[in-house]
């Protein structure tokens, strides 16, 4: 693993950023004992089946990689941001990258890359149905085949159905 870089050694530059249980941290400040039993993701861990992640590809498309020293930390910070906020504003993106320093790009290309990926994240529209009457059947009509849900014979229950392909979710 050579992606994570040591920069300042003081937590100021973000070159050493990794994800610990999905949270971006400066590895130069993170004690090894604290990592026991946790999931650590470096830049190499974003690739799936030998193919770079969408955020990695977007950084390349937008010229957000110059010398490459800060890129792993920037990309992992972007990954963390997008896992928490799928529709960030430009200000939120800049704040999400604020712990990372870059001397080459001027940051705009990175903001553009993250914005592009954020616009491609499927959004889930939700509707809620509440009822005191049970049992009843709900027919969900989506682009996927219709689905019947039969709740238990109790008046207190909750069902959540998510169909990512159609972007719809239903809570009953």
pLDDT (tens digit per residue) in 31-48 = 999 999 999 999 999 999
| Average pLDDT taken over every residue of the chain | 78
> For the range 86-95, what are the long-range contacts, defined as Cβ-Cβ under 8 Å and sequence gap of 24 or more?
86/118, 86/121, 86/123, 87/118, 87/121, 87/123, 88/114, 88/115, 88/118, 90/115, 93/118
Decide: 107 and 94 in contact? Cβ < 8 Å: yes
Q: What is the pLDDT of residue 104?
A: 85
pTM of the predicted model, to two decimals? Answer: 0.70
Under the banding of pLDDT at 50, 70 and 90, the label for residue 123 is: low
Under the banding of pLDDT at 50, 70 and 90, the label for residue 170 is: low
Decide: 74 and 32 in contact? Cβ < 8 Å: no
Under the banding of pLDDT at 50, 70 and 90, the label for residue 145 is: very low
Question: What's the whole-number mean pLDDT along residues 91-114?
Answer: 93
């Amino acid at each position: 693993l050579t992606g994570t870089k040591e920069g300042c050694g003081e937590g100021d530059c973000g070159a050493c950023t990794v994800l610990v249980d999905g949270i971006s941290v400066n590895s130069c400040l993170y004690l090894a004992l604290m990592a026991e039993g946790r999931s650590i993701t470096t830049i190499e861990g974003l690739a799936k089946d030998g193919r770079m992640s969408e955020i990695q590809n977007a950084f390349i498309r937008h010229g957000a990689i110059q010398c490459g020293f800060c890129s792993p930390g920037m990309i992992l910070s972007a990954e963390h941001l997008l896992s928490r906020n799928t529709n960030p504003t430009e200000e939120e993106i800049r704040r999400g990258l604020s712990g990372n320093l870059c001397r080459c790009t001027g940051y705009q290309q990175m903001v553009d890359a993250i914005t592009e990926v954020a616009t491609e994240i499927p959004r889930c529209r939700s509707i809620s149905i509440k009822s005191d009457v049970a049992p009843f059947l709900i027919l969900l009509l989506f682009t996927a085949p219709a689905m019947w849900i039969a709740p238990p014979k109790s008046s207190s229950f909750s069902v959540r159905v998510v169909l990512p392909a159609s972007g719809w979710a239903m809570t009953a």
